[in-house]
Amino acid sequence: MTENNKSATLNLNGESYELPIFSPTVGPDVIDIRKLYAAAGVFTYDPGFTSTASCDSTITYIDGEKGELLHRGYPIDQLAGKSHFLEVCYLLLYGVLPTAEDLENFETTITRHTMVHEQMINFFRGFRRDAHPMAIIVGVVGAMSAFYHDSTDINDPRQREVASHRLIAKMPTIAAMAYKYTIGQPFVYPRNDLDYASNFLRMCFAVPCEEYEVNPILSRAMDRIFTLHADHEQNASTSTVRLASSSGANPFACIAAGIACLWGPAHGGANQACLEMLKEIGTVDRIPEFIDRAKDKDDPFRLMGFGHRVYKNFDPRATVMKQSADEVLDLLGVENNPLLQVAKELERVALSDPYFAEKKLFPNVDFYSGIILEAMGFPTSMFTPIFALSRTVGWISQWKEMIGDPQNKIGRPRQLYLGETQRDYIDIENR
Ligand code: CMC
């Protein structure tokens, strides 16, 4: 990171402070306030990090005004159209597109790590059958720290590498096992002759008593969903992974922290919430009622799958997802899917409503993904686990970048304290 010749001047209590400015390769400049407290005795205040860069990174770039998402410089629509998930994983992890030989080696490595330790089955069995699959996945991924001791030393680059491969490879197995457990079916082991997406579909939908043939159309659509969710720079779950790992915690525990954060309805839980909302709306004639509720300040209801902290014109992932929903439903012969009709009409009505236009609220990636996943046969409770398994490579890439950075420090935000000043303890009989 190099300083340019620019600086910002802060005038405070009659003193002035020069703050260096850094320029990124693309995007807005950042003001370096790292020495501000030491020099001026003040903190900055930015809950929700709306104006704060928490790190430097070379992995993903988003231009929210242009609706642009680049992984290592490559636009997401090109990656979704021409590449596939494991190639995108390689790109995110190593920074370059692989040669044919590198890709083959990488795919072989991931494929050979897909099984989980047999004793991990006991962890699944400890959960109630009605547990949400995300609850199971948070627990089981955290429990990986107790199973793979040879890849928890974060100071050893080889162990970091192995932990990365294990997480990318085992997440589909763990997500599928969580699903099978909640529906009371036997676990299905991964198969090395299948690609990543086909393997996941088979582990979710096969049963031991009959052959299961993966539909290549669904496998391609699944792979595209994985690709569209692979990384998204410093979002809440990624920042959670970075903060958790800044203390030196082991990688499996840090990824479990990211999964926990992703589960919330404002983040990865939105895909489940969105499909449930579309079902609740049910028919296009009820759309105005829900639009009114979303606009009502006294009603906490929000249009799920709408709005984004960074995208203020459109979410490029949503554009690809919408095309994919059309293609998949068409190919499955369910182009008259009532939920798709409600979704399209809701999008049309919302986009022509001044409330949504003024607040720059557009459909995000979660708006159409649930429709595809439901058409594939997934229950809504599996939507967020699928997001989690796709995002694992993003979390891991950001984690690797952070651990390998010599400037890495434990994350420790400060606060604006508004509580009581010091006061004396009162004995209970005098309160
Ligand atoms: N429906 C109705 N109003 C909304 C919505 C919505 N979906 N989203 C934001 N607003 C309003 C909000 O009420 C606020 O109005 P006002 O300025 O009058 O108080 C204004 O827009 C700004 O909202 P905000 O909450 O300050 O914006 P944010 O950047 O903090 O939140 C968001 C972004 C994604 C959490 C939010 O838009 C939201 O809750 N959307 C629904 C949940 C969702 O779809 N999440 C998935 C995000 S994409 C996938 C991912 O990253 O996980």
> What's the pLDDT at 167?
97
pLDDT for the residue numbered 341 = 87
pLDDT at residue 336 tops 90 = no
Q: What is the pLDDT of residue 2?
A: 56
pTM score of the predicted model: 0.93
Q: What is the pLDDT of residue 172?
A: 98
Determine the pLDDT at residue 342: 92
Q: If you average pLDDT over residues 64-76, what whole number do you get?
A: 96
DSSP label at 210?
A: S
Average pLDDT over residues 321-327: 88
Q: How far is Cα 377 from Cα 372, in angstroms, rounded to an integer?
A: 9
What is the CA(361)–ligand 1 centre distance, in A?
8
Interatomic CA distance for residues 127 and 349, integer angstroms: 43
Output the CA torsion 315→321→323→325 (10° steps): -140
Question: What are 107-137's pLDDT values in tens digits?
Answer: 999 999 999 999 999 999 999 999 999 999 9
Q: Whose CA is nearest to atom 9 of ligand 1?
A: 307
Distances (CA, A) of 19 to 31, 47, 65, 114, 165: 6, 21, 27, 49, 41
The confidence band for 408, taking pLDDT boundaries of 50, 70 and 90, is: confident
Counting from 1 in the atom list of ligand 1, the atom nearest the Cα of 306 is 7
User: What is the per-residue pLDDT across 249-283, written as a single tens digit (0 to 9) for each?
Assistant: 999 999 999 999 999 999 999 998 999 999 999 99
pLDDT tens-digit readout, 157-178: 999 999 999 999 999 999 999 9
Q: What is the distance in A from the centroid of ligand 1 to the CA of 168?
A: 30
Q: How confident is the model at residue 3 (pLDDT cuts 50, 70, 90)?
A: low
Catalytic, 308? Answer yes
Protein residue with its CA nearest to atom 44 in ligand 1: 305
Token pair 């398994």: residue: 389
Q: Which of 315, 366, 405, 427 is catalytic?
A: 366
Tell me which residue has its CA closest to atom 3 in ligand 1.
302
Catalytic residue status for 299: no
Considering the candidates 308, 315, 330, 353, report the single residue annotated as catalytic: 308
- What do you get for the CA distance between the two ends of the chain, in Å? 57
Pocket of ligand 1, candidates 309, 317, 387: which has the most ligand atoms within 8 Å of its Cβ, to mutate?
309
Nearest residue (by CA) to ligand 1, atom 48, is 364
Which amino acid residue places its CA nearest to atom 4 of ligand 1? 302
Mean pLDDT of 10-23: 96
Give yes or no for a contact between 179 and 129, defined as CB atoms under 8 angstroms apart. no
List Cα–Cα distances, 54 to 239, 300, 407, 411, 412, in angstroms. 8, 30, 13, 9, 11
Ligand 1 pocket (Cβ < 6 Å) reads 235, 266-268, 270, 294, 302-309, 359, 361, 364-366
